[in-house]
Amino acid sequence: MAETKQKEQPQQKPTADFQKQIAEKDAVISDYTNHLKRLQAEFENFMKRAEKERSEMIQYSNEKLISKLLVVLDNFEHAIENLKKIASTEISNGVEMVSKEFTKILEGEGLKKICAKGRKFDPYLHEVVTCVAKGDCPEDTVVEEVQTGYTIGKKTVRCSKVIISKMPKQDFKENKTQSQKQED
């Protein structure tokens, strides 16, 4: 009979206190939902950042070893030059094949030569050994490459050691006097 009494009772309309409690709980649910969305977005950004850092770390992890091996690569180049002068073609060709294979392996790891000769001096890629007076090429142009430079990705592993052109002293004096005359 208790069951029938409950069914017979008319449904009560929500009171103001009950509606206030519902509104407060809806606000709490909304706060938790927004907080959860922010945490989820932060976590996704963290995962993207961690993946980017991991891929950069993999790319540059061999940099120290590769920079040490550049000395060996330089020695191969010097040996090939000297062998071509004094030894038979077969020996120099054999050393050249080993050098090419060694270079191919390093390039497979992301190593790239810096092309310097004939280009404008860039302090991020080039290290000036000396300057020469050259009237036939623009000032601060790489005239000669003394030692090859290399990059891995966007990072310079070793700067190219270069000789750059400077304006001859006579031309410099002429340009200076011409600029002074223009100012007067």
Ranges of each domain in the chain: 112-169
Edge-first strand order for the sheet with 160-166 is 126-133, 160-166, 142-147
Q: What angle do CA 132, 134, 135 make, to 5 degrees?
A: 155
pLDDT at residue 14 in the model: 66
pLDDT at residue 29 in the model: 94
Environment class of 127 (CB within 10 Å of its CB; exposed 0-12, middle 13-18, buried 19+): middle
pLDDT at residue 1 in the model: 47
Environment class of 24 (CB within 10 Å of its CB; exposed 0-12, middle 13-18, buried 19+): exposed
Q: Render pLDDT for 7-42 as a digit per residue (tens, 0 to 9).
A: 555 566 668 888 888 999 999 999 999 999 999 999
Rounded to two decimals, what is the model's pTM? 0.61
pLDDT at residue 9 in the model: 56
Q: Are 135 and 103 in contact (CB under 8 A)?
A: no
pLDDT at residue 48 in the model: 96
Residues of the chain with pLDDT under 50: 1
Q: How far apart are CA 41 and CA 43, in angstroms?
A: 5
CATH architecture assigned to 112-169: Roll (2.30)
